[in-house]
Amino acid sequence: MTDTPDQGQEPTPEEAVHPETAAVLGGRADGELSLAPVLYPTSTFAFDSVDEGRRLATSMAPDRFYSRYGNPTINAFEATIADLEGAEAARAFASGMGAVSAVVLGICSSGDHVVAQRQLYAGTQLFLQTVCPRMGIDVTFVDGTTPGAFAEAVVPGRTMLVIAETPANPRLDLVDLDDLGSIANALTVVDSTFATPLGQRPLDHGVDLVLHSATKGIAGHNDATLGVIAGSQDLISWLWGFATLQGANASPYDAYNAHRGVRTLGARLRQQSETALLLAGFLEGRPEVADVRYPGLASHPQHELAVRQMRSMGGLLTFDLARGIDAGRRFVEATSIARQATSLGGPETLVCHSATTTHVSLTPDELEASGIGEGTVRVSCGLEHVDDLVADFGRGLDAAGV
């Protein structure tokens, strides 16, 4: 009779597995027989002695003390993300913006300098433009698609943080991760929400921190709101200390849903990517469409870079309707399978008119600098049959007119 492996035992480094397998195996406690993630909904735990209380109060991410410090459900999700990103540690937050604000304010102080790209999620851009100046933190925006732009904007001795987002919201512009990772005199962080940990691994390119709105593709079912960062133990320890004071900690319920969701990320991302490529090709052939952006298309201006640094091209695509805002409105209001909503990465295909939703806070000049036009529509491909989506998009384009 052969020996039976322990039920909760994860593979050793010598038994390295593919990322899709790691997503299923990750975050399981040794000896835990539950196949589903285990939910600990409590806000606090009892301890037996004063000495134990002191130890827990002075430990990083204790899993049975007070849930703002740590919680077994949240810690298991964090361990899975760290594993998928090739990181030493991770920290979860109540939202993607909770993660963004913790990174910026946890690293930067008054008088410091931040370099960020212009092609950003509007919430991040608004935070950098409004909150940072109030804290005495200067921000310089650059074109993230220009080689060397980040490094050229770094001010030695002042620049603490370089922030990139790739693929960028909403036009799927890419940042060269090797170029970014080569910056040695500032900490670098990549918002990799659109790619997910199975689409790319920025830390492998020398980047210091990777950040996700885990609300999106990681959780993947529109039933959780949380963010997560991953990086070295030293950096996460520093940011963990700030995060316990910031208070934007993840809910155990949301961490449970996200941990459950990440186990199907490989299958979801594979189908969503296949659908996105087929839809992008369909849109390229329609006269109502002026431009289509998808990294998997040869027509994407950075397609070669995408092939070099992305394992999956993802389920997001963006296109511009030739007749502007009226065409955009008619398109998104005419689709019936694809629904209007501003999130992404879930089982439902979602469409949104970027200038009036995700980036409505930007001025006309800022929209132009980000490449967002009046007819720009962002698509998050879901899990419906692609033929049904092609027919649905055809109806929307017919309504948009030439």
What's the pLDDT tens digit per position in 272-294?
999 999 999 999 999 999 999 99
Choose, from 66, 68, 204, 395, the residue flagged as catalytic: 68
360, pLDDT greater than 90: no
Convert the pLDDT of each residue in 72-115 to its tens digit.
999 999 999 999 999 999 999 999 999 999 999 999 999 999 99
What are the sequence ranges of the domains in the chain?
13-262, 265-400
- Distance, in Å, from the CA atom of 257 to the CA atom of 367, rounded to the nearest integer, reads 34
Does residue 69 have an active-site annotation? no
Helix, strand, coil content of the chain in percent (nearest 5)? 40, 15, 45
- Residue 338 burial by CB count (10 A; 0-12/13-18/19+): exposed, middle or buried? buried
Tokens of 276: 């996105």
Residue 397 to residues 256, 282, 335, 392: CA-CA distances in angstroms? Answer: 39, 11, 9, 9
Considering the candidates 216, 260, 263, 268, report the single residue annotated as catalytic.
216
| 121 in active site | yes
pTM of the model: 0.92
Does the active-site annotation cover 365?
Answer: no
pLDDT tens-digit readout, 369-394:
777 777 899 999 999 999 999 999 99
Catalytic-role residue among 121, 208, 263, 293: 121
Q: Is the domain covering 13-262 a CATH 3.40.640.10 domain?
A: yes
Domains 13-262 and 265-400 share a fold: no
Taking the C-alpha atoms of residue 323 and residue 401, their distance in angstroms, rounded to an integer, is: 8
CATH class as words, domain 265-400: alpha beta
pLDDT band at 11 (very low <50, low <70, confident <90, very high): low
Q: Which of 63, 191, 254, 320 is catalytic?
A: 191
Query: Of 236 and 342, which is predicted with more confidence?
Result: 236
- Write the DSSP symbol of residue 131: I
Q: Is 112 a catalytic residue?
A: no
